[in-house]
A and B are shown apart, each in its own frame.
Chain A
Amino acid sequence: NAGVIQTPRHKVTGKGQEATLWCEPISGHSAVFWYRQTIVQGLEFLTYFRNQAPIDDSGMPKERFSAQMPNQSHSTLKIQSTQPQDSAVYLCASSLEPNTEVFFGKGTRLTVV
């Protein structure tokens, strides 16, 4: 079990460019989550899929952020027109079902210059 796999581990983009982050959840897990971690805001929930269906995207900045889960083995988080304030560590996580342990990936550190 390789755990939740996130690629790339580090990404640097120029202001205004697009960034796509990839996540491979643990096989068999039905829930996939995206969080953002910064020093100031801490861990913020972004969005959540269950059985590939989008369930809750209440944490997503609506205009430039989007997430998809085209199949059970991967999810993507896309940020259009990146801004310096998007710089953060983006964490993907998965779990078997509610109330159980959520397993986190190592994250993608996004730096917008």
Chain B
Amino acid sequence: AQSVDQPDAHVTLSEGASLELRCSYSYSAAPYLFWYVQYPGQSLQFLLKYITGDTVVKGTKGFEAEFRKSNSSFNLKKSPAHWSDSAKYFCALEGTGNTGKLIFGLGTTLQVQP
């Protein structure tokens, strides 16, 4: 079965700190992994993706993520965090068949305090 787990429903930190949002996945084949962000009242926006190659991928808004096959993780990172990063972040796995269909985690709500 394919699934994505984001174990932290909420993360709060101070502006200037480093942020790391956790994501783990379950998938028998080579995964295609994505991070999306949703600001209040807005639609989901693409941040970055891992398809193959370099295990550290850089995305928009200064974010990066590291793919670790050893523990099936794809954590999102940024340093330093800014108050404008406050939003809900979703990790996603592209499902079987290379269709573009995404399986999402439940999301992590990030609050960055000024």
Contact = CB atoms under 8 A, between A and B. Distances in A.
| Main SS class of interface, B | loop
Among B94, B97, B98, B101, chain A packs the most CB atoms within 10 A around the CB of: B101
Dominant SS among interface residues on chain A? strand
Q: How large is the interface on B (under 10, 10 to 19, 20 to 34, 35 or more residues)?
A: 20 to 34
A87 B45 CA distance: 23
Nearest to A32: B100
B83 interface: no
A101 B98 contact: no
Nearest to A3: B43
A61 interface: no
A33 B36 CA distance: 16
Interface of B: 32, 34, 36, 42-46, 49, 51, 90, 94-95, 97-107
17 contacts: A31-B99, A31-B100, A33-B102, A35-B102, A42-B104, A42-B107, A43-B90, A45-B101, A45-B103, A48-B101, A56-B97, A56-B99, A99-B49, A99-B51, A100-B100, A104-B45, A107-B43
Interface of A: 3-4, 31, 33, 35, 42-43, 45, 48, 50, 55-56, 91, 93, 95, 97-107
Cβ-closest 6 pairs across A and B: A43-B104, A104-B44, A42-B106, A104-B43, A101-B46, A98-B100
